[in-house]
Amino acid sequence: MTQLDPPGGMVRPAVAYPSALARCVSVEPEKFAAAHWGQTPLLSRAAELPNPAGFTDLLSPDDADELLSRRGLRTPFLRVAKDGQVLPAARYTGGGGAGAEIGDQVLDEKILQLYAGGATLVLQGLHRNWPPLVDFTRELSLAVGQPLQVNAYLTPPGSQGFATHYDTHDVFVLQVDGRKHWRIHPPVLPDPLERQPWGGRADEVTATALGPAALDVVLEPGDALYLPRGWLHSAQAQESSSLHLTVGIRALTRYALVEELLALATEDRRLRATLPFGIDLADPEAIEPELTETVEALRDWLSHADPAAVAGRLRQRAWSASRPAPIRPLAQAAALATLTVDSHVTVRPGLRWQLTATGDQATLRLFDRTITLPAYCEPAVRALLTGEITRVGDLPALDTDADRLTLARRLLQEAALIPG
């Protein structure tokens, strides 16, 4: 059984924030899943959303200035674009000064010149380095069941960072500050894969963008927009500067199933066979018998494909793309040193795990490792990971407190648990 912890975000005094998904869409989750997910855009106005203060709690203009000036930001956590082109990093990075032996730190004075000159700033990977977005993204990822990434776009008044294009992943656009004019057109290639970027269809994209828009709208602070992959879009800041967040949804597709099935098909010797000696690979008639036999062998193999094997490969692919909540290494080490039977521990928020027991061994699979334990530990591990038990001394199916402490320390050291 795979168990996910219940969603949870940052605790903010005096303000009760709604769930991450409710902050992004103005319809019920069931309706969003049935009518919009992967199909059609959804515009949600601030008045329709339960956001008490828009999205400034996630990243404000002052926060962006903090990142650009005082956090030692390096590439690729920043991109700069102007007139539809991404500028070379050398134009805005340089040495970090005495004691910082690196040459690609973002230089605030160069950023000022570029931004004042009309360039768009793209803060990337904010789901990894800005605490409010780390927590928000983790909760939203659990809600949609897919890995996410977050970028922020800071655009000067009247500027447009990128020409009309499409993304190969779905996005939530969250307008934080300023106003931005969006023009949305239907796909030229529905449901594009990552290997099918818009540049390969630039002429079609340009021609379609000249036609009537499916959605022509100005996003105001607190508004949200959902765009499925493939939908064409362009955005231009209005009379003032604009800041919006783009939450990219790196959803797995049916083609991912195909890729994993083909990877497993290497087990079939018929599909590993060498083509005949001297075959003319450019001759369709010479290739036809081999193609027919290969298709038959593949069809036969697919009819016996093991869903468990495919799920195991998909688990590795999906889980490694989403990290659980950050841990505090120093506090974690201190908890290890002072653990007693009266200590309380809890599962690491956002941890994806799978626990099985076979014979005399229990196997705990996490996002980045597999842990093996004696089979008799399985009830105690499950009780901890499901939150049924938090006090170390209450762990079931173990004979002594020494065994309970040993197990709790192991799971704390593996970062599956955190101090409670």
Reported as a single tens digit per residue, the pLDDT across 336-395 is 999 999 999 999 999 999 999 999 999 999 999 999 999 999 999 999 999 999 999 999
- Residues 44, 224: contact at Cβ < 8 Å? yes
Q: How far is CA 275 from CA 246, 265, 272, 295, 419, in A?
A: 48, 17, 9, 14, 59
pLDDT band at 162 (very low <50, low <70, confident <90, very high): confident
Q: How far is CA 133 from CA 138, 150, 165, 206, 228, in A?
A: 8, 8, 26, 34, 21
| Angle at the Cα of 375 from the Cα atoms of 372 and 378, rounded to 5 degrees | 85
Helices and strands in the chain: count of H runs, count of E runs:
12, 20
- Residues 260, 314: contact at Cβ < 8 Å? yes
Amino acid occupying residue 111: I
The CA distance from 248 to 245, in Å, is 10
Mean pLDDT across 142-149: 93
Amino acid occupying residue 194: E
- Parallel, antiparallel or unpaired: strands 105-106 and 78-82: unpaired
Q: What value does the mean pLDDT of the chain take?
A: 93
Q: Considering the chain, what percentage of its residues have pLDDT values greater than 90?
A: 88
Residue 9 pLDDT greater than 70, yes or no: no
Residues in the chain: 420
Return the DSSP state at 52: E
**What angle, 0 to 180 degrees and rounded to 10, lies between the N-to-C axes of helices 307-319 and 254-264?**
120
Residue 12 pLDDT greater than 50, yes or no: no
pLDDT band at 17 (very low <50, low <70, confident <90, very high): low
CA atoms within 13 A on the CB side of 177: 19
The CA distance from 370 to 361, in Å, is 12
Structure tokens at 179: 């106003």
Evaluate the omega torsion of the peptide bond into residue 6 and state whether it is cis, within 30 degrees of 0: no
The CA distance from 24 to 173, in Å, is 8
Nearest of 210, 135, 204, 136 to residue 172 by alpha carbon: 136
Question: Which residue pairs from 25-29 have beta carbons closer than 8 angstroms and sit at least 24 positions apart in sequence?
Answer: 25/224, 25/226, 26/224, 29/143
Q: What is the 3-state secondary structure (H, E, C) of 276-327?
A: CCCCCCCCHHHHHHHHHHHHHHHHHHHCCCCHHHHHHHHHHHHHCCCCCCCC
Q: pLDDT tens-digit profile of 48-106?
A: 999 878 999 999 999 999 999 999 899 999 999 998 889 999 999 998 888 877 889 99
Burial 402-416 (b: 16+ CB within 10 A, else e): ebbbebbbbbbeebb
- Parallel, antiparallel or unpaired: strands 170-177 and 224-227: antiparallel
The CA distance from 117 to 121, in Å, is 12
Structure tokens at 275: 């083509």
| Angle at the Cα of 373 from the Cα atoms of 367 and 379, rounded to 5 degrees | 90
Q: What are phi and psi of 260, to 5 degrees?
A: -70, -35
- Residue 203 neighbours by CB distance under 10 Å: 9
The CA distance from 33 to 27, in Å, is 10
In the prediction, which pLDDT does 98 show?
83
User: Coil, strand or helix: which one is 417?
Assistant: strand
Q: Which residue has tokens 């912890």?
A: 5
In the prediction, which pLDDT does 163 show?
87
The CA distance from 122 to 294, in Å, is 47
Residue 15 pLDDT greater than 60, yes or no: no
Q: What are phi and psi of 232, to 5 degrees?
A: -70, 145
The CA distance from 219 to 357, in Å, is 52
Q: pLDDT tens-digit profile of 73-85?
A: 999 999 999 988 8
- pTM for the model stands at 0.88
